[in-house]
Amino acid sequence: MTTAVEWSEDAFFEAPERSSIDGGTTSIGPLWHGASPRWGHSMHTMCSYHGMFPAKLAHYFIQRYSQPGDLVVDPFSGRGTVALQARVEGRRVIGNDLSPLAYVLSRAKAAPPSWSSVLEKLATVERSYRRATAGDPDVSNDIRMLYHPNTLRQLTFIRSHLLKGALTAWGPQTLMIAGALTGIMHGAHRRDGSSQYLSISMPNTFSMSPTYVAKFIEQYGLVAPDQNVFECIRDKVARLYLDAITGTDGVVFAEDAAVLLSSRAIKRRSVDLVVTSPPYLQVVNYGTANWIRLWLLGVDEVGRDSGAGRKTINAALDHRHTYATYRHFILRALVGIERVLTKNGVAAIVIGDVADPGKEAVSLARKIWDDVGGETGLELLELIEDDLPVDKKVSRIWGDTKGQATDRDCILVLTRPGSNATAGVAIVDWDEPYKDAGPDAAHERLRRLS
């Protein structure tokens, strides 16, 4: 039997073998599946995100349907993959997400400051920590059980420092520190007991429920490591800056996607490409899956059914729809996309199939398109079926939801009637000119660690 501790290691697949490909394919060929799972800019590894798609998928559509200088938009930007990849490929970019976690990650990636300025800011925070008299932190047991007391004192100090201002007012350095820190809040320990993460050994991609964690801490005698948070952030930031950051800063909003797409913030007929993935139908709860990281960002008690933070997040995010309300939600988003797309613009919309337990999987993308396509003013250029190996599918390892993700996503490739965009496979350049061109000192720091 797989124990929770082994299982948590299985669930961590951020760093697969460099030579491996992911074993998936699509209905029109391997496309992005031909590239290594490690493909992409080093900054993509900032923080894992439940329901994320890989950078190579974003790259495929960016190369296939846009040119340098074009405007690329992701209205449900999650961990900011499209924002970063479009930027380093010379596109202008707009991201948007209603989750505070996704907003922080997307903004940090859309407009990263220099590596040295992040280190300077962190040193300032560390100096104030040394000067402060740290008492026993005022945190719930849900948080306390995850960390060593020394680690928790530093964490809560940094948290209070961050929360002095509203998220939307944070500067680029603060966003980068917060983004890097969310990425190391929890994760599996190495076999030798060391860890780049701050918590007891647990999955990195999502947070298990507090009750579940408490049970396993007791059952397996899990011990929290005495981690120096400032040092761990410095190591993490060095990893993020291994590749060169080029391009112009992107803009990120924290709005309802449909409202944003129909507002003056994005001009009519101004967007060349949308690459996005709306929340799937009741598959992932973006609050519970991230309750520890959301605590860091000031949303408390998301891990508890009746917690204040859980209510706030559930009220804001569209992850609890019935099919009828989901249909309406997607229609509003598609109408907004129609408004902003240029004459030859394209939207690639990734939607996972869903299945009720014991029932056959439904192609949600096909069903949605059949039901609302005619009301959107858009045309279906192509529907790409994307088959993922089951063990690589993040939402597959989370059982606590009503509908279940399956091993298939579908991508609706949409355009305007009369556009000159074409369907089918195109030759895509997989070169990464930014690779390993970040500051030498970041490389040097990591060499010392290995």
Give the nearer residue to ligand SAM in terms of CB position, either 52 or 88: 52
Give the nearer residue to ligand SAM in terms of CB position, either 85 or 201: 85
Stretch of 236-244, 274-282, 336-344, 415-423 lying at the interface with ligand SAM (CB under 6 A): 274-282
Beta-ladder partners of 413: 348, 382
Give the nearer residue to ligand SAM in terms of CB position, either 51 or 307: 51
The alpha helices in 304-449, defined as continuous H runs, are 308-316, 323-340, 364-372, 440-449
Q: Does 53 bind ligand SAM (CB under 6 A)?
A: yes
Q: 197-222: b or e for each residue (b if 16 or more CB lie within 10 Å)?
A: bbbbbbbbbbbbebeebeebbeeeeb
How far apart are alpha carbons 119 and 201 in whole angstroms?
Answer: 27
- Smallest gap from residue 350 Cβ to ligand SAM (A): 7
Give the nearer residue to ligand SAM in terms of CB position, either 100 or 345: 100
Question: What does the block give as tokens for 68?
Answer: 């340098």
Half-sphere exposure (Cβ direction) of 438: Cα atoms closer than 13 Å:
25
Give the nearer residue to ligand SAM in terms of CB position, either 49 or 216: 49
Q: Does 384 bind ligand SAM (CB under 6 A)?
A: no
- Smallest gap from residue 79 Cβ to ligand SAM (A): 4
Q: Does 245 bind ligand SAM (CB under 6 A)?
A: no
- Smallest gap from residue 61 Cβ to ligand SAM (A): 12
Task: Among 4, 31, 47, 52, indicate the residue that binds ligand SAM (CB under 6 A).
Answer: 52
Give the nearer residue to ligand SAM in terms of CB position, either 198 or 261: 261
Q: Is 307 left (phi over 0), alpha (psi -120 to 50) or beta?
A: beta
How far apart are alpha carbons 237 and 104 in whole angstroms?
Answer: 15
Give the nearer residue to ligand SAM in terms of CB position, either 229 or 261: 261
Beta-ladder partners of 424: none
Task: Among 155, 176, 317, 411, indicate the residue that binds ligand SAM (CB under 6 A).
Answer: 317
- Smallest gap from residue 93 Cβ to ligand SAM (A): 14
- Smallest gap from residue 353 Cβ to ligand SAM (A): 13
Task: Among 32, 49, 147, 369, indicate the residue that binds ligand SAM (CB under 6 A).
Answer: 49
How far apart are alpha carbons 378 and 348 in whole angstroms?
Answer: 12
Which residue number places its CB atom closest to ligand SAM? 78
Subset of 75-114 contacting ligand SAM (CB under 6 A):
76, 78-79, 81, 96-99, 102
How far apart are alpha carbons 140 and 416 in whole angstroms?
Answer: 51
Three-class SS state of 436: coil
Give the nearer residue to ligand SAM in terms of CB position, either 81 or 199: 81
CB 372 within 8 A of CB 365: no
Give the nearer residue to ligand SAM in terms of CB position, either 207 or 277: 277
The site map against ligand SAM for 123-142 (x = CB under 6 A) is --------------------
Q: Does 51 bind ligand SAM (CB under 6 A)?
A: yes
Question: What does the block give as tokens for 194?
Answer: 């060391």
Q: Name residue 372's amino acid.
A: V
- Smallest gap from residue 4 Cβ to ligand SAM (A): 26
How far apart are alpha carbons 88 and 82 in whole angstroms?
Answer: 10
Q: Name residue 147's amino acid.
A: Y
Subset of 409-438 contacting ligand SAM (CB under 6 A):
none
The 251-253 sheet, strands edge to edge = 25-26, 379-387, 404-415, 341-355, 271-276, 71-74, 92-96, 251-253
Alpha carbon of 219 to those of 140, 191, 261, 304: distances in Å?
21, 19, 49, 21
Stretch of 183-191, 200-208, 235-243, 313-321 lying at the interface with ligand SAM (CB under 6 A): 313-321
CB 205 within 8 A of CB 391: no
- Smallest gap from residue 409 Cβ to ligand SAM (A): 10
Stretch of 74-82, 301-309, 334-342, 400-408 lying at the interface with ligand SAM (CB under 6 A): 74-82
Q: Does 279 bind ligand SAM (CB under 6 A)?
A: yes
Q: 414-436: b or e for each residue (b if 16 or more CB lie within 10 Å)?
A: bbbeebebeeeeeebeeebebee
- Smallest gap from residue 292 Cβ to ligand SAM (A): 16
Task: Among 156, 277, 282, 363, indicate the residue that binds ligand SAM (CB under 6 A).
Answer: 277
How far apart are alpha carbons 256 and 273 in whole angstroms?
Answer: 19
Stretch of 16-24, 47-55, 87-95, 366-374 lying at the interface with ligand SAM (CB under 6 A): 47-55
Three-class SS state of 7: helix
Q: Report the interface residues with ligand SAM, using CB under 6 A.
A: 49, 51-53, 76, 78-79, 81, 96-99, 102, 256-257, 277-279, 286, 317-319
